[in-house]
Amino acid sequence: MLETKFGRHIELGKPVEIPLRDINLKDLTFLFRYKFEIEDLSDSIKQAGLINPVVLRQKEKYQIVCGFRRVFSYKFINKKLIRAFVLDKETQDIDCVLFALNDNYFTGNLNDIDKAMTLRKLKRNFLVGESELINIFTTLLKMPKSKEVIKNYLAISEVEDEIKEGFLNDKLNLGQLFILSRLNASERIPIYKYIILSCRINTNELKEIIEYLTFLNRKFNKTFDEILDKKIVKNKLLSGNFNPRQKTIILLNTLRDYRYPNLTKKSRRFFKISKCINIGDKLRISFPENFEGDFVNVLLKPTSYKELVKLIGIIKTKKRHFMALFRLLK
């Protein structure tokens, strides 16, 4: 007897030996993993044998409910028979789903892509409604009970395999994957290809870049691919002379230039003049945010009164440059 987490009782009977050739290995109805590896498990089975029997459902050929990795490992090491609990052919699909997910809940850890694919399968293949997804399946998938979370995971289930693989290989984090999943394919693929893979970028920077690209796309009616490919990637990112972090900075600055051409131009002019003032670390000059104001921020860092007087004296000698800064802010 096996009790599912939600109180369904299903009679399992005693495990029996089932020939592998009688199992339909092509039927992946109850597989809730994006990908799985069998080599480690095969080694373990060779040494210790099968500890937990798999669960199959009777059909014309047996259908795997729990234990895909175990069955495929058995096949890999050319075993002929496998110990299995066999469910009656009348057992409902949804009971098999609960079985399989319970098995995963207690025995294995699903990664975020597995969870996303599971939610998609539940919704599409088993027609599970939103409230059931939230109330029942989030617990089995060890996820927060939230509509928003479900929505995010369903979105990542739709991203291209290339990007899913990238996530599994730590090329991008979950936050970045969520951001990409909100874009359409023609937008996210160039971002992944040109930016995620070649730069070292944090989530906020990625958001900023997408905001710039979205703006440029609307304004100039060019695709992300065209914007990145023509102007930036060929000229700057693929030149190969920069490390991934430097590439990120170059990319951000270049896109910012396109997004805010006048602001950037003015900032550059400001920095050019303030550079001429150059009094070292003891004096810092900056402009008000976005030039919204007609003042210059001047920070003096004297360690003594004498030094303060000296700094003020130097400032007096830089009158021409300060006047130029104030003119810029008018």
Partner 1 sequence: MKHLYFKEVYIERDIKNLRQTDSILKRLKPKSVNLIRDIRDIRLKGNNLNTTIGLSKKVLFLAKQRGNFIKKFFENKNLINCSEYRIDLISGCIFDCAYCYLQSYLENHIISIYVNLNNFKNEFLRLKRQVNLKKSLFTTGELSDSLALEWLSGYTKFLAEIFSEEDLKLELRTKSSETELFSKNAFNKKNLVVHWTVNPDYLIKYIEYRTPTLRERLSAFRKAQEMGFKTGIRLDPIFHIKDWEEKYRTLINYIYNSIGQECSIDYSLGCFRYTKELKKIIQMRFKNIKILDDEFIKCEDGKFRYFRDYD
Question: Which stretches of the chain bind partner 1, using CB under 8 A?
Answer: 215, 218-219, 259-263, 265-266, 290-292
Residue nearer to partner 1 on the CB measure, 281 or 289: 289
- Listed residue (146, 203, 212) closest to 180, CA to CA: 203
Q: Is 129 helix (H, G, I), strand (E, B) or coil?
A: coil
- Of how many residues is the chain composed? 330
Q: Minimum distance between the CB of residue 260 and partner 1, rounded to whole angstroms?
A: 5
Residue nearer to partner 1 on the CB measure, 262 or 303: 262
User: What 8-state DSSP symbol labels residue 286?
Assistant: E
Q: Minimum distance between the CB of residue 235 and partner 1, rounded to whole angstroms?
A: 23
Q: Minimum distance between the CB of residue 36 and partner 1, rounded to whole angstroms?
A: 41
Q: What is the dihedral of CA 17, 23, 27, 33, to 10 degrees?
A: 40
Residue 287 vs residues 85, 199, 284: alpha-carbon distances, Å: 73, 30, 10
Q: What is the largest CA-CA distance in the chain?
A: 95
Residue nearer to partner 1 on the CB measure, 124 or 269: 269
The separation between CA 159 and the C-alpha centre of its own chain, rounded to angstroms, equals 10
Q: Minimum distance between the CB of residue 208 and partner 1, rounded to whole angstroms?
A: 13
Residue nearer to partner 1 on the CB measure, 185 or 263: 263
Given a contact cutoff of 8 angstroms between Cβ atoms, the answer to whether 194 and 188 are in contact is no
User: What 8-state DSSP symbol labels residue 89?
Assistant: T
Residue nearer to partner 1 on the CB measure, 173 or 264: 264
Q: Minimum distance between the CB of residue 324 and partner 1, rounded to whole angstroms?
A: 15
The Cα–Cα gap between 303 and 206 comes to 41
* 18 token code pair: 């089932």
Q: Minimum distance between the CB of residue 266 and partner 1, rounded to whole angstroms?
A: 6
**81-87 and 54-57 beta bridge pairing:** parallel
User: What 8-state DSSP symbol labels residue 30?
Assistant: T
The Cα–Cα gap between 135 and 126 comes to 16
Q: Minimum distance between the CB of residue 290 and partner 1, rounded to whole angstroms?
A: 4
Residue nearer to partner 1 on the CB measure, 8 or 231: 231
Q: Minimum distance between the CB of residue 155 and partner 1, rounded to whole angstroms?
A: 18
* 328 token code pair: 């810029």
Residue nearer to partner 1 on the CB measure, 9 or 218: 218
Residue nearer to partner 1 on the CB measure, 27 or 257: 257
- Listed residue (112, 102, 204) closest to 152, CA to CA: 112
